[in-house]
Amino acid sequence: MLDRSRIEALRTADVPPMGHVIDGRMTPASDGGTMDVLSPLDGRVLTTVAAGTAQDAEHAIRSARAAFDDGRWSGLAPAARKKIMLKWADLVEENALELAVLGVRDNGTEIGMALKAEPLSAAGTIRYYAEALDKIYGEIAPTDPSVLGLVHREPVGVVGAIVPWNFPLMIGAWKFAPALAAGNSVVLKPAETASLTLLRIAELAVEAGVPPGVFNVVTGAGAVVGEAIGMSMDVDVLVFTGSGGVGRRLLEYSARSNLKRVYLELGGKSPNIVFADAPDLMEAVKVSANGIFRNSGQVCVAGSRLLVERSVHDAFVEALANYARDMKVGDPLDPATQAGAVNSQRQLEQNLTFVEEARAAGREVVTGGGRILEETGGYYMAPTIVTGVSPEDRLARDEVFGPVLAVIPFDTEDEAVAIANGTDYGLAAAVWTADLSRAHRMVRAVKAGVVHVNTYGGADATVPLGGVKQSGNGHDKSLHAFDKYLDLKTAWIKL
């Protein structure tokens, strides 16, 4: 049960100006520049953060390199790293409500989701990789008995991480936790519109005993700080979650610098496929609505394309529209709220543009479609369902990243597969059916990194998350995440 009185106290608490966290200390921008943090709850300035420069990024990278090279973290016994990371996870958990409210004030996620998906998820992720780090072994090759072939796993060095604004702690932890557990140093750049909780968690890392320089957070514009990290000759691996356009630039930076490995998660246009024989159509309605409208649709794996078998299409859409109209959209710090604020004015305008284009093309906006609660000064949008969408429409092909659902009917399984695979993306998908054989066929046929069956979302840290096609490469979560942050070294020893 959420403590409403504590939430209200944290809602009005002053948030002091924040600098970077470099070498274990809060540090201002090298030129003294700051950026206003606008809260999506009311559009007002919440605080300021450092407007990082390329020099700030280079400072953090030098600090990370020095920390890696002198072994203050990479040279620790695995049990020692584990102890510190477990203490860090405990601190994050102890400060979970403070972190959740700070994050809500910064990016607008409803508090019920934010608490679980942000600090509690981050604490769990840190704990998962802390527990795993001393269970990653090298190998002995089955070679000639006169030779000993050993395969060592070694940390790569300095990891640059650039993370988005929708779930900064959760997605950030997916990247920094395995990187640090493996013995690397990290330089992390948050999104300009969601930096506060990552700065705070970096302070908690220092408190837990993570040595200075091992985990650095540098705020600022992507075109400045992100480019400096991407172009650095001293960053060994770069991991990113965000847009395809930025992902392409990061690959260019790698080619123009030291050919650093770049791992990208670039979003999706995930199909949620409902067959007439779904075991519980009303459950499918509820889960499908939450799969697109929670966090105002600002979820990488959001089921933003709903494919419904034609025989149940009209009844399903009617039930879905009724459910969406009943959802409580508004103050993200009210525990009763089911969908909070859109992150920024810019994102809200982008969402509305998609809807207006659909209207102009003759598509039907069944419910929603506009800005609401404008009198608050915040950025709120009603859950929106658009029917009659063609698979060729921009609304069916491009990622909106808002509470806008495109509904497309289908008649056959093969047609559903063709529509599902008819985009450049391949991050997530879902299939609702009572036919076990069909479920297995669809899991194989749909091109996506994650395919849910009779559910949507909720996959935990034990399984990987990654995309195919233009949704990216590499995997977050699970033990497979270590693959990005460990090098293989062969020792070939003549006996």
CA distance 291 to 285: 10
Compute φ and ψ for 170, nearest 5 degrees.
-60, -55
> Using CB atoms within 10 A of its CB, is residue 439 exposed (0-12), middle (13-18) or buried (19+)?
middle
Scored b (16 or more CB within 10 A) or e, 221-246 reads: ebebbbbbbbbbebbbbbbbbbbbeb
* Unique residue bearing structure tokens 């000759």: 233
What are the catalytic residues? 265
> Using CB atoms within 10 A of its CB, is residue 335 exposed (0-12), middle (13-18) or buried (19+)?
middle
Beta strands 185-189 and 158-162, pairing class: parallel
Host H or E run for residue 315: helix 310-326
Q: Are 440 and 419 in contact (CB under 8 A)?
A: no
Residue 488 CB contacts under 8 Å (≥ 6 apart), including other chains = 151, 152, 153
Give how far Cα 328 sits from Cα of 189, 213, 456, 474, Å: 33, 44, 20, 37
Q: Where are the alpha helices (DSSP H) in 135-243?
A: 168-181, 196-208, 227-231
| Cβ neighbours, 10 Å, residue 123 | 25
Radius of gyration of the chain (CA): 23
SS3 104: helix
